[in-house]
């Protein structure tokens, strides 16, 4: 398919015809045999004064508030994810230092202690306190 390039002057003439009300965008397209369906409207949006072909979005008050709430929620989720990444990096660094002090490789430590919980606070005791807390130790 042959690509047709239009000059800026031609585009401005077509836009002027649409904005002056002489013709609609579809009529200008037919008049000048412009192949693209939305080409003239794209020119009107690009080169026009903004009176014709401009897209206006009307939002209700609750829709605006919903957008603000969702952006806030997204920011909080990103911050929580960043915190989790930081904690993971700290845990990995701590594990490397601890293994180095114990003269053990990280892989060896993971094999030896692989299925166990990371902390002693994994299960509540019979009296309801957590096993890792000072009040729950026996």
pTM value is 0.38
Q: Which residues pair with 130 in a beta bridge?
A: 124
Does any domain span residue 61? Answer: no
Does any domain span residue 24? Answer: yes
Q: Among 19-23, 46-50, 67-71, 125-129, which stretch is predicted with the lowest mean pLDDT? A: 125-129
Residue 44, Cβ neighbours under 10 Å: how many? 25
Residue-number span of the structural domain to which 15 is assigned: 8-47
DSSP state of 91: H
Residue 85 — pLDDT band, cuts 50, 70, 90?
very high
Nearest to 14 by CA among 37, 48, 51: 48
| First vs last C-alpha separation in the chain | 84
Does any domain span residue 35? Answer: yes
Does any domain span residue 84? Answer: no
Q: How many separate domains does the chain show?
A: 1
Does any domain span residue 20? Answer: yes
Mean of all residue pLDDT scores within the chain: 81
pLDDT of 20: 85
């Amino acid at each position: 398919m042959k690509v047709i390039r239009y000059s800026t002057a031609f585009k401005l003439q077509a836009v002027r015809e649409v904005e002056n009300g002489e013709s609609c965008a579809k009529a200008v397209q037919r008049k000048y045999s412009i192949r693209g369906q939305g080409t003239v409207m794209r020119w009107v949006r690009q080169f026009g004064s903004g009176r014709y072909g401009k897209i206006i979005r009307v939002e209700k008050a609750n829709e605006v508030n919903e957008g603000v709430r969702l952006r806030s929620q997204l920011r909080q989720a990103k911050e929580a994810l960043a915190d989790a990444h930081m904690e993971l990096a700290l845990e990995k660094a701590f594990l490397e230092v601890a293994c180095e002090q114990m003269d053990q490789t990280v892989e060896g430590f993971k094999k030896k202690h692989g299925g166990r919980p990371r902390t002693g606070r994994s299960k509540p005791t019979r009296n309801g306190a957590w096993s890792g807390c000072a009040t729950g130790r026996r």
